[in-house]
Structure 1
Amino acid sequence: MANEPIKDTDPTLGKLVMDAQRDISTLVSQEIQLAKSELKVSVRHGGLGIGLFAAAAFLLLLAVIMLSVSIAYFIHWAGLGLHWSFLIVFGLYVLVAAVLGLIGLRQVKQVKAPERAIKQGKQIPGALKGKG
């Protein structure tokens, strides 16, 4: 069996390599087309989701404004002047914003550079050159 003569119908090594290259190229091209079509669907859903989140945030902002006016009128109803009632609501929001800002500042100060990743990244060129 090993010493059978080569038939004219058997493909040559060059033809096999060319066929493999063509098949790999076709496969890669089809994978890219599949990825593009999947991304189009994902981007469409993502865009719609972002738009809906923006609409919800806008409506929530309107609700907070209405709640603020209601709180001010409840304070006024309790016997304080209307202008003082609105000033109290304003002061409450400034106080909440200051507390949130301080908490956010503390969180930002805890952010550090990814030191281990940087150290490993600096080792890559040496590893590619064969240095341990």
Structure 2
Amino acid sequence: MTAPNQHRVADEEVAETPVGEMIGNISNDLSQLFRQEVELAKAELKQEAAKAGKAGGMLGGAAFAAYLAVVLLSFALVFALDAVMPAGWAALIVAVLWGVIGGVLYVNGKNKLKTVDPMPRRTVDTLKEDAQWLKNPTG
């Protein structure tokens, strides 16, 4: 059979296919497409959740490290400054220093969280393409 004959046979099969069966096939195809889009959205959201978890872990680690540093180094610095000034002033200076460090850690963690994108962009793009195709399947 040559290629033109194959096309003619396929055209005849399509012409003989009942409308109900064609609608059923379209429905099945749309259902499968929807399931694939949902799976893509799940994959994207999982990836973004992992990024958010890492950022949260970094913030938690930074807070714990800052706490330990404040406790241990504050005592050492207060005792060192106590040699040249009253202990109250030494403790105030140390507290301000660790407040600045904590602020820097907070800003860095907050900026990391801004890179997390909760919108499944690829899924949205493919849904737009699917909707466009449904409006104009031949073009």
Select the structure of larger CA radius of gyration: 1
- The answer to which structure, 1 or 2, has the higher relative contact order (CA under 8 A, 6+ apart) is 2
| The structure with more helix, counted as a fraction of residues | 2
